[in-house]
Amino acid sequence: MVSTAAPKMVYRYLGNSGLKVSLFSFGNWLNSMKQEDYEITRDAIKICLENGVNFFDTAEIYGMGAAETQMGKAFKELSIKREDIVVSTKIFRCGAGVNDTFLSRKHIVEGLRASLKRLETEYVDVVFCHRPDFETPLEETVRAMSYVIDQGMAFYWGTSEWPADRISKAIELCERLNLHKPIVEQPQYSMFWRSSFEKDYRRIFSEYKYGSTIWSPLAGGILTGKYNDGVAPEGSRFQNHIGYLAPHWDRWFGEKSKEANLKRLNGLAEYAKELGYSQAQLALAWAVANQDVSTCILGFTKIEQVTENLKALELYLKWDESIENRCKEILFNDPEADMDWRKWAPLPSRRSEATQNPKQ
């Protein structure tokens, strides 16, 4: 039996619920492409558990079911007590059939049943609608998500990469129909990808106490330090997949953005060294310093990355106003402020408010 005790880990409530999740969590999207990735998944889960991580995320579309199968197999091989972990999956697409995709009642119910079978569990703690579906009536989707909770297939449901107005509509519809409301969004968030999280979701965080399970906190590896000269090194993700990832590369290192982003990256590297941490650890600690983040999902391609990235918890526990302000100066990319029309003045940034709360 794997020990899940780790006194150093920080836990936060997942949105407006009584469910607590570890500040850092593990998602196995990166480990679903090849069969040999199973060993990384299993060993990463073991190390995560030993460090207090209790939240594990996957999706039916990751490897078209392979990621769920690997995660379920790892839980079984490691003899993990189901009650000790929080497991989530996401419904979007897993199959070539005309109804094997998106958010109809049919696909939500059948898709989740298939996910549970692959995960070798009777339920998931959280099931996400992986992307918005604007062709299926929203009422059909929220009724189906509420139904799978009533059937004991999941305890909570959430959204992933949904626009804030769609989330608000879903919550209000559930309130009106007396259905189980979504409690959490799974958005992208990092030092380089801030606007939607800090600006667009401001109201759902403040008014609904919506939770978040953020992904890509290292901006696809850009914030690790490997790309600080603006070149994709041999064997890196961008070097091997430059065709598929070309638009992402151009976003950070295109003609209009390269100079500013190289200045940011090298400034972060210098400051991280001054603090005694890696650039990646600084970026991860920065992400979770925002109290609107319930948990930060980490992905690993090498097993040594697990302990290295989890060390960001140490820096987070040291986080203070001086570190926050220094990062703010280096990044110089705060989203444009909303207006407080009663005072006819810009509102404080959501991040500035969320980083002032005491550590949990």
Locate the domains of the chain by residue range.
11-354
State the Rg of the chain over Cα: 20
Q: What are the C-alpha distances in Å from 98 to residues 94, 106, 210?
A: 11, 11, 33
Q: What is the structure's pLDDT at 4?
A: 45
Q: Superfamily for 11-354?
A: NADP-dependent oxidoreductase domain (3.20.20.100)
Rounded distance between C-alpha atoms, residue 124 and residue 157, angstroms: 10
- DSSP states of 286-335 as a string? HHHHSTT-SEEEE--SSTHHHHHHHTHHHHHHT--HHHHHHHHHHH--PP
Rounded distance between C-alpha atoms, residue 352 and residue 202, angstroms: 12
Q: What share of the chain has pLDDT > 70, as a percent?
A: 94
User: Which residues in 224-256 are b (16+ Cβ under 10 Å) and which e?
Assistant: bbbbbeeebeeeebbeeeeeebeebbebbbeee
pLDDT digits (tens, 9 = 90+) for 14-33: 999 999 999 999 999 887 76
Q: What is the structure's pLDDT at 340?
A: 87
Q: What is the structure's pLDDT at 31?
A: 79
Q: Is residue 352 classed as helix, strand or coil in its secondary structure?
A: helix
**Is pLDDT at 2 greater than 50 in this prediction?**
no
* Residue 88 β-bridge partners: 57, 126
pLDDT digits (tens, 9 = 90+) for 164-198: 999 999 999 999 999 999 999 999 999 999 999 99
144-169 mean pLDDT: 98
Q: What is the structure's pLDDT at 62?
A: 94
Rounded distance between C-alpha atoms, residue 322 and residue 330, angstroms: 12
Rounded distance between C-alpha atoms, residue 248 and residue 241, angstroms: 11
243 vs 291, residue with greater confidence: 291
- Catalytic residue selected from 62, 210, 227, 277: 62
Compute the Cα dihedral for 87, 89, 95, 99 and give only its sign: positive
Q: What is the structure's pLDDT at 313?
A: 97
pLDDT digits (tens, 9 = 90+) for 68-90: 999 999 999 999 999 999 999 99
* Active site (annotated) includes residue 244: no
User: What are residue 217's phi and psi, to 5 degrees?
Assistant: -70, -15
User: What are residue 53's phi and psi, to 5 degrees?
Assistant: -70, 130
**Is pLDDT at 7 greater than 70 in this prediction?**
no
Q: What share of the chain has pLDDT > 90, as a percent?
A: 79
pLDDT digits (tens, 9 = 90+) for 260-312: 999 999 999 999 999 999 999 999 999 999 999 999 999 998 999 999 999 99
